[in-house]
């Protein structure tokens, strides 16, 4: 439970041009967001793919790459027809840096990386202030930006969704990782008691719930496949909740079941199955495709197995794979419902009801994921569970980051930096 130093909800009136840099898990994105007030905005963005090497090389090099992409983006978007910069001499653009890994923050533009998650492992970064590291890269490439805020994607999603629809009280991410954020009363946040922040203020909390039950493994029921995913990961013991839910792991869980059945001689007898034997080759997107296959013959599943893994399947096997995908996807959604229910209970949102802004490829692309979360909420709360409704969130890592950069600017101009 990490205090984010994002104070309260946006007014919806925030306006102006803001840059956002999103270091997500799979992609790197640079966005230019124009906030128009009245809960409206426009956005231009460019995506850059991150390589596995970049995720594990020197951390400073990773931030240098972010800075290079940012520079290219600014050169492209702030140049006139004759190739001259449209920025005034000395002008800098405000930037929100969406860095979606657990950080201890002392103020909005500071963040000490606690640990890498989602398969990242860049060197000499854990324990250091990533805002500072990124600022060094910005200086090195002489980029005309001022980094005003460092933001977790969940917090960004919370703020962006509330900007557009103030009924939103909770945000959840189901992407490479899994996490949530909500707004807490400052008086109830023990961790920041000593800072003397105004008791009536509110602050967003980044739950980092992916880490729930890490190491102890006391609460979450795990299968032997989950244990293998954990033990063979680059961070054994960590992110216990996330490993049962997020896009990075669901395909791998299914692959491990298949591999066990291959070893037992139950599946693909006499076929060469080496293509299935590499960890993480079975993408979570395949589970989506398998579950949405509309044909009786399950032609989509034939396609996945022949095309990507060069094995022939029988109809019975395909039906089994589909049932397996359903179990894995359903469990992920229902466990997520437990997390949402915990926040709803803590904050007393059940009677009044609230919206939950949800984002990430798993939520947006996995068929029936939202319905399964809702089913879970009704199982937990009974009929009142219907008051808690998830919806596709606004782009938190881009737009949310920009809104937070705007909120921070207003606060700074009013002399309320770093705290209220």
Residues annotated catalytic, as ranges: 100, 115, 153
As a whole number of angstroms, the distance between CA 37 and CA 14 comes to: 5
Give the CB-nearest residue to ligand ADP: 175
The DSSP code for 268 is: S
Asked if 285 interacts with ligand ADP (CB under 6 A), we say yes
- Identify what 71 binds: ligand ADP, Mg ion, none; CB under 5 to 8 Å per kind: none
The stretch among 22-30, 242-250, 332-340, 372-380 that binds Mg ion (CB under 5 A) is 22-30
Q: Least distance in Å: CB of 18 to Mg ion? A: 18
- Show contacts with ligand ADP in window 9-48 (CB under 6 A): 24-27
H helices of 129-195, in order, are 130-140, 153-164
- Identify what 168 binds: Mg ion, ligand ADP, none; CB under 5 to 8 Å per kind: none
As a whole number of angstroms, the distance between CA 331 and CA 246 comes to: 11
Q: Name the helix (H) or strand (E) containing 184.
A: strand 178-185
For residue 250, is it left (φ>0), alpha (ψ between -120 and 50) or beta? alpha
As a whole number of angstroms, the distance between CA 118 and CA 141 comes to: 28
Of 283, 293, 394, 395, which lies in the binding site for ligand ADP, with binding defined by CB under 6 A?
Answer: 283
Q: Which of 130, 16, 13 is nearest to 62 (CA)?
A: 130
- Identify what 361 binds: Mg ion, ligand ADP, none; CB under 5 to 8 Å per kind: ligand ADP
A 10 A CB-CB count for 311 gives 18
Asked if 292 interacts with ligand ADP (CB under 6 A), we say no
Q: For residue 187, what are the contacts with CB-CB under 8 A and spacing of at least 6?
A: 199, 200
Q: Least distance in Å: CB of 363 to ligand ADP? A: 8
Asked if 24 interacts with Mg ion (CB under 5 A), we say yes
Q: Which of 169, 154, 178 is nearest to 99 (CA)?
A: 154
Phi, psi of 16 (to 5 degrees): 120, 175
- Show contacts with ligand ADP in window 157-186 (CB under 6 A): 175-176
Asked if 96 interacts with Mg ion (CB under 5 A), we say no
Of 94, 102, 156, 175, which lies in the binding site for Mg ion, with binding defined by CB under 5 A?
Answer: 175
Q: Chain centroid to CA 398: how far?
A: 12
Each residue 360-379 as x (binds ligand ADP by CB under 6 A) or -, in order, gives: xxx--xx-------------
Structure tokens belonging to residue 263: 């070893």
Q: Which of 415, 418, 394, 410 is nearest to 16 (CA)?
A: 410
Number of residues that bind ligand ADP (CB under 6 A): 17
Each residue 50-69 as x (binds ligand ADP by CB under 6 A) or -, in order, gives: --------------------
Report the residue number, 27 or 136, with the smaller CB distance to ligand ADP: 27
Phi, psi of 143 (to 5 degrees): -90, 130
Each residue 206-245 as x (binds ligand ADP by CB under 6 A) or -, in order, gives: ----------------------------------------
- Identify what 366 binds: ligand ADP, Mg ion, none; CB under 5 to 8 Å per kind: ligand ADP
Of 10, 94, 96, 247, which lies in the binding site for ligand ADP, with binding defined by CB under 6 A?
Answer: 247
Q: Which of 378, 268, 270 is nearest to 316 (CA)?
A: 268
A 10 A CB-CB count for 351 gives 7
Report the residue number, 261 or 285, with the smaller CB distance to ligand ADP: 285
Report the residue number, 26 or 72, with the smaller CB distance to ligand ADP: 26
Q: Which of 143, 197, 134 is nearest to 3 (CA)?
A: 197
Q: Looking up tokens 């890994």, which residue turns up?
A: 101
The stretch among 24-32, 107-115, 181-189, 301-309 that binds Mg ion (CB under 5 A) is 24-32
Phi, psi of 170 (to 5 degrees): -140, 150
The stretch among 58-66, 79-87, 278-286, 315-323 that binds ligand ADP (CB under 6 A) is 278-286
As a whole number of angstroms, the distance between CA 393 and CA 157 comes to: 7
Report the residue number, 201 or 324, with the smaller CB distance to ligand ADP: 324
- Where do contacts with ligand ADP occur on this chain (CB under 6 A)? 24-27, 175-176, 247-248, 283-285, 288, 360-362, 365-366
- Where do contacts with Mg ion occur on this chain (CB under 5 A)? 24, 175
């Amino acid at each position: 439970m990490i205090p984010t130093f994002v104070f309260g909800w946006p007014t919806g009136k925030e306006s102006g041009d803001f840059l956002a840099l999103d270091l997500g898990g799979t992609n790197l994105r640079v966005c230019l967001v124009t906030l128009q007030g009245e809960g409206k905005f426009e956005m231009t963005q460019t995506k850059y793919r991150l390589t596995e090497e970049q995720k594990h090389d020197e951390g400073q090099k990773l931030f240098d790459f972010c800075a290079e992409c940012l520079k290219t983006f600014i050169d492209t978007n702030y140049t006139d027809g004759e190739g001259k910069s449209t920025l005034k001499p000395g002008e800098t653009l405000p930037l929100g840096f969406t860095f979606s890994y657990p950080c201890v923050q002392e103020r909005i533009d500071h963040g000490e990386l606690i640990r890498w998650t989602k398969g990242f492992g860049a060197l000499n970064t854990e324990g250091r202030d990533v805002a500072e590291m990124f600022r060094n890269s910005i200086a090195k490439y002489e980029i005309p930006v001022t980094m005003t805020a460092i933001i977790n994607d969940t917090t960004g999603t919370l703020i962006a969704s509330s900007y557009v629809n103030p009924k939103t009280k909770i945000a959840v991410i189901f992407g490479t990782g899994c996490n949530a954020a909500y707004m807490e009363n400052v008086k109830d946040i023990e961790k920041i008691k000593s800072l003397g922040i105004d008791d009536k203020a509110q602050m967003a909390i980044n739950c980092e719930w992916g880490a729930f039950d890490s190491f102890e493994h006391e609460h979450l029921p795990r299968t032997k496949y989950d244990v293998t995913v954990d033990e063979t990961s680059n961070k054994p013991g960590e992110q216990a909740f996330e490993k049962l839910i997020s896009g990075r792991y669901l395909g791998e869980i299914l692959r491990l079941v298949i591999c066990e059945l291959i070893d037992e001689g139950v599946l693909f007898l006499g076929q060469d199955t080496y293509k299935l034997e590499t960890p993480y080759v079975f993408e979570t997107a395949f589970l989506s495709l398998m579950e949405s296959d509309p044909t009786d013959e399950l032609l989509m599943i034939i396609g996945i197995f022949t095309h990507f893994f060069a094995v022939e399947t029988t109809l019975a096997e395909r039906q089994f794979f589909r049932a397996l995908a359903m179990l894995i996807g359903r469990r992920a959604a229902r466990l997520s419902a437990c997390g949402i229910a915990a926040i709803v209970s803590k904050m007393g949102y059940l009677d009044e009801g609230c919206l939950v802004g949800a984002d990430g490829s798993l939520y947006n692309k996995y068929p029936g994921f939202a319905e399964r979360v809702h089913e879970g909420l009704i199982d937990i709360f009974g009929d009142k569970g219907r008051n808690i409704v998830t919806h596709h969130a606004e782009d938190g890592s881009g737009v949310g980051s920009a809104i937070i950069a705007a909120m921070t600017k207003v606060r700074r101009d009013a002399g309320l930096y770093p705290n209220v």
